[in-house]
Amino acid sequence: MSESLQSELPDEYRELSAAVRDFTNEIVAPVSARHDREHSFPYEVVAGMAEMGLFGLPFPEEYGGMGGDYFALCLALEEIAKVDQSVAITLEAGVSLGAMPVFRFGTEEQKQQWLPQLASGEKLGAFGLTEPDAGSDASGTRTTAKEDGDEWVVNGSKQFITNSGTDVTSLITITAVTGETAASGDRAPGKEISTFLVPAGTPGLTVAPPYDKVGWNASDTHGLAFDDLRIPRENLLGERGRGYANFLRILDEGRIAIAALAVGAAQGCVDESVRYSKERRAFGTNIGSHQAIAFKIARMEARAHVARRAYYQAAALLLSGKPFKHEAAIAKLVASEAAMDNSRDATQIFGGNGFMNEYPVARHYRDSKILEIGEGTSEVQLMLIARGLGL
């Protein structure tokens, strides 16, 4: 983290960042390459994050949380993502996508049932929105939930769902079409989308084999299928018909968290490049003394610094209860592009070594592309920013 920005934070935030940084260097870094190479889920690392209380950072103590806030989560994500994006996205998805919908929209009974286990990190939650024909355009949602007595019967499928198939996954929150909205003015009838809690292992739920991904190889990602899956009526999360609106709120918050993760990746590329440029020699001197390399790293640092400022501002608005959608979109856009640009430049600085998976920058190069796609593509962020300008 930039020293100037770090000095602006209250002591508790700086102490959290330092603690997570130590954990990442001591526990995460030594096993990252192996888990990436083997495409294995880092259960021992997740257990360590749970012991630190990271999964409970933004939740009240009454639900088993740490009594912190969303910015604390973002700081933790930034530190972890400097070294391992797969671990960072496991934490991000478990908190902002898995547990946060229950906290934001659940009944008191639902919160008491699910939040303590999710906030403790003993269990993981997942967020099922994306479908084969419904990603950025949720109007394409085809998964349905129909009432049958005291139950909902769910049929359909989801894809690209993080944390959905681990041994500790306990809950998957999904969206499903529950009816049709009425016409209003010149607006045609549309789909009524609601949100449901689906416990892992429910009969009728099939978890597909893990995807063969370009990056985030140690992150758990599966497709899901629902075949006459039955859940109790009380598993409706929030008000019927508000599922899409509620998930948009969750995605707005999640974009700040993804921005923090992306800043971590961007900064990790800076840190690795600075270290390497001081050690690697060419033409009789270390490569960092050559202006072409020094200027490239300077631009990388500038990108990370600006992106960090952007997510700090969006998080501050969120915590103050002010509108933050516009700033969250900006933060997600600039941070994800910073991560991708910095990983490309870092790979170039490392030369042939940058193309070898044994070097962290190679993993960042593979991992960072998804940051411009997940939780709203860059094109979606541009659309949201333009709308915020009245265009």
User: Annotated active-site positions, please?
Assistant: 375
Q: Where are the beta strands (DSSP E) in 278-324?
A: 281-282, 285-286
CA distance 261 to 94: 14
Cα-only R_g, the chain: 21
Among 92, 113, 87, 93, residue whose Cα is nearest residue 102: 113
Contact by Cβ (8 Å): 226, 205: yes
Gap between the Cα atoms of 335 and 261, Å rounded: 8
Q: Which of 267, 276, 251, 217 is nearest to 328 (CA)?
A: 251
Q: How far is Cα 32 from Cα 237, in angstroms, rounded to an integer?
A: 36
Show Cβ contacts of residue 216 under 8 Å, excluding neighbours closer than 6 positions.
85, 86, 89, 367, 370
SS3 state at 192? strand
Cα dihedral 119, 37, 264, 340 sign: negative
* Count helices and strands in the chain by DSSP H and E runs: 13, 10
CA 28 to chain centre: 18
**What own/partner pairs with CB < 8 Å and gap ≥ 24 does 30-35 have?**
32/83, 32/84, 32/86, 32/87, 32/218, 32/360, 32/363, 33/357, 33/358, 33/363, 35/86, 35/217, 35/218
